[in-house]
Structure 1
């Protein structure tokens, strides 16, 4: 319980800092500018090979890391490419790493948190004494320090994407004469990685496939409303896998929902139980998925028929789920139209209150806990 509360508190602190720095709004504005200046796609097409496990893990789950923004950066690069390129066009980098209209402006970060002081500002208070006392100078200093941190994180993301392995790397970074990475000249690889051929598999905009599971589509609001900035990597991975299942079996998804048990999830996608279960819980709280519900018209028809033999063919949302049975899920893309930062702030605040209430009830029913507190009071 204590770990859950602390994890929730850390996330709330990050969101609050993002709000103070206006980083999510600024990144969303930058993405919106790219979208409006380009082809304005309603959805982004992603090759599902990114999700597929090869051995124990997929390229996707290799990017489910507690820190860093490698997965986010790759998806942002795919979004940027499809806003400006036609189907089949090869990716070329025409965007700097820092400055106006750069890659750094597309990512929202929370700043540098100082563990010792328990605050964000303390980590940025290394400004020269001569700048102190001037609100404008202090703001410029903090802005520059935040921009430096954004650049470092973008470079870190590129290194992570390159270091997935010779064949699996999702970017290629050329080297200078002394072996240093030339980050500005990086190339984006396709969702299947660099490949094992001498010529790398440079990213190209895929053809949308409706009849197979070769591609999945991601609504533009996932990028423009800030969701890509505030969801954790495990939540993004869970959401992508559920999207693939929902589009691979659309009828099943709309009637009874989709699900994954441990073995096919591990074999097909390489996502572990804790990441999956926690991802589903958070996506449910944030309104991006729901427990399966029968379509309104079908539910009414079944009720009118009153035939148990027919009704039994469809899982009922109100039935009691046994512990070993998986949840059936449906995507709720209308949730993506809401402001991501505000939604997470509200839901995580509710969760803070629920965890605190649960801890209080637990203490009241724990004799040893009450005894230890009584001894301490004495």
Structure 2
């Protein structure tokens, strides 16, 4: 991430902390009290392809968007789509139990009858542009952003307009299953149900939502985190310590990262920021640089060992803004990802 991008991200986070982030966190905690669960389940099919999509020629260029899993398709520098959909899954699981549909997702804006809304649960940078015909109020701009994200989700087969008419998301939406199969030609909509114990799913710690991480992380960081949640659960490696205890580690090779998760090197390199935020512990091989590149690289290298990752799920219990802002300031000042002094 270049210095200019870091500065913009830092400034935006400062704006969120002064503006919408505290209210969005308060609303998430209020909604969570109804369910009380410790995790939010996300079906594996949202994160990982069922079949290998093939190798890529350039490490910097991931699969075409059309071939990626749904979560990787939503990576965008200023996109709201991935964050909004995860918030929808969070809200659904706070309202109904495993195996059940959520018959009444929130409206975009609150009403006297429905005080919970997506506008209240989402934190965005939607500034007032000043007077004039083309200018929009902060509220109107935010609603527009949410509606546009909903339309994207509708096109991806993850939402349906409650009216049954495509594009009328402002009048209400119905959640569809996160496998995206409702999009297939001629397919009937598959209503979203909370995953049951006999399904393949990953678990996102509830603090990801109730402590605001969903708002302060980038979509690349979130997509990479989903990959690490998946690999840690379904393909972990175990390392025995000298005291006899065992720690669970995860790693992913580039062909798997591209061919199953649809993530290129830019997304992979978010392990540097996620490590600085202490959401991951990264165990680096002695020959690897911090960014993951291999010293003295050769095509016939037989000892190219990938970084090992240890997920720190309890770290989502911290206030996201108070953790991330000092790291971004350090990155902006020193040009390096590092954990701030405690």
Task: Identify the TM-score tier after normalising by the shorter chain.
Answer: 0.7 to 0.9
**Alignment partner, residue 193 of structure 2:** 204
CA distance in 2 between counterparts of 1:74 and 1:64 reads 13
CA distance in 1 between counterparts of 2:89 and 2:305 reads 36
TM-score (norm 1): 0.72
Query: Does residue 344 of the first structure (1) align with residue 333 of the second (2)?
Result: no
Q: Aligned match of 1:77 in 88, 98, 105?
A: 88
Maintained 8 Å contact 1:265/1:271: yes
**Alignment partner, residue 192 of structure 1:** 179
CA distance in 2 between counterparts of 1:326 and 1:188 reads 38
- Greater mean alpha carbon deviation, residues 200-209 or residues 25-34: 200-209
Query: Does residue 332 of the first structure (1) align with residue 337 of the second (2)?
Result: no
CA distance in 1 between counterparts of 2:6 and 2:305 reads 27
Maintained 8 Å contact 1:96/1:103: yes
Query: Does residue 236 of the first structure (1) align with residue 209 of the second (2)?
Result: no
Maintained 8 Å contact 1:64/1:237: yes
Query: Does residue 47 of the first structure (1) align with residue 43 of the second (2)?
Result: yes
Q: Aligned match of 2:161 in 173, 181, 185?
A: 173
Structure 2 alignment gaps of length 5 or more: 54-66, 240-245, 289-293, 296-303, 337-342
Q: Aligned match of 1:261 in 244, 253, 258?
A: 253
Q: Deviations over 1:183-221 (max 9, x none)?
A: 332111111014345421110011135xx8x11111110
Q: Aligned match of 1:89 in 100, 103, 110?
A: 100
Higher Rg of the two aligned structures: 1
Structure 1 alignment gaps of length 5 or more: 113-122, 129-141, 293-316, 357-378
Maintained 8 Å contact 1:24/1:226: yes
Maintained 8 Å contact 1:256/1:328: no
Q: Deviations over 1:10-30 (max 9, x none)?
A: 001101111221x11100111
**Alignment partner, residue 25 of structure 1:** 22
TM-score (norm 2): 0.79
1:124 aligned counterpart, secondary structure? coil
Query: Does residue 353 of the first structure (1) align with residue 333 of the second (2)?
Result: yes
Please report how far the alpha carbon of residue 344 of structure 1 lies from its aligned counterpart in structure 2 after TM superposition. Answer: 1.1
CA distance in 1 between counterparts of 2:86 and 2:169 reads 21
1:111–1:265 Cα change, 3 Å: same
Q: Number of paired residues?
A: 295
**Alignment partner, residue 117 of structure 2:** 102
CA distance in 2 between counterparts of 1:92 and 1:233 reads 28
- Cα RMSD (Å) of the superposition? 2.5
